[in-house]
A and B are shown apart, each in its own frame.
Chain A
């Protein structure tokens, strides 16, 4: 018999032209289930008008980003046990810094357009992967094999970033990380965008993006590395190398 918890979900609700409110639902859950499972159960058994995004349930599609007790989480891989306790109230809200479409669903169009604008790679040669193996362990012919890029485009980093809160024009962590991933030397056409008011200098080093990134992107480190790349590219421009 799996462990049973009684949990109260406090969900952010807002439909078009309505004022926001919170609805609460009390459920029996297994603490090893995920936050998304609990939200889904509210929809299935309590309120069919609840809107939320989800698809793959295994951290690949990046659709189910929400704020859980104020912190950005990819809810399909966040066990209830990790964020709450038996008998507690769990508050679930939509991501910040995106327009709300309905309840927990936000319009992430801006992020996708920015990722397109910087030509973010959806796949990359396995030899360029930073996580599993160091570059030296690959054979040159392995470059023909591709892997999915680490970034899920889930928008958690944009939601957590204090600078993204001030303007939609700021590229934000994921797109800047995508520029770093491609590199200034190979993609000098991205330099004017990276070296702009809405690019790499707008980051104020709060490191919130890396704190919430559910994948291996580590956007803050990549933004810092992009700074080095941009300064290098600018110096090369001046000294003509």
Chain B
């Protein structure tokens, strides 16, 4: 009888099927949060090269010119914008503000994250 609550139902956390926009917002928030935490520590490690002097750092800069790294950076930018805006949505609703508009605020967060990512993508690949 596998119907009891269980912390082993890990994948169901991330299953958006049959759920409402509020849960999609939560799932995306959790995924972007995990991704950004990973990126944060990667970012800090990589920046350690700054302490080793110009050569070590410029070597790393060469690496960032690959399209794959650029794509990763775009993902980070999209995740940052979404996590920030949705975070503000959670803060507002937690203080009783905009609870009736929470779905619209979620869609707006996604829209602005997509637009922001696009702007950066154009800048990155055109520049």
Contact = CB atoms under 8 A, between A and B. Distances in A.
Q: Are any A and B Cβ atoms less than 8 Å apart in their complex?
A: yes
Interface of A: 14, 70-71, 94, 96-100, 106, 162, 164-168, 170, 204-208, 211, 220-221, 224-225, 227-228
Contact of B3 (A71, A106, A228): A106
B24 to A, nearest CB: 9
A178 to B, nearest CB: 18
Contacts of B103: 207
Interface stretch (B10-18, B38-46, B53-61, B62-70): B10-18
A227 B94 contact: yes
Contacts, number: 82
Interface residues of B, number: 28
13 contacts: A97-B3, A97-B5, A98-B4, A166-B7, A166-B13, A167-B6, A205-B26, A206-B20, A206-B22, A207-B20, A207-B23, A208-B20, A228-B96
Given A71-B18, A206-B25, A167 B5 contact: yes
A163 to B, nearest CB: 9
Chain A interface helix/strand/loop/mixed: loop
- In the A-B complex, list the 6 residue pairs whose CB atoms are closest, starting with the nearest: A207-B22, A70-B18, A206-B23, A206-B26, A211-B20, A168-B5
Contacts of A100: 1, 3
A225 B13 CA distance: 25
A17 B11 CA distance: 25
Nearest to B100: A221
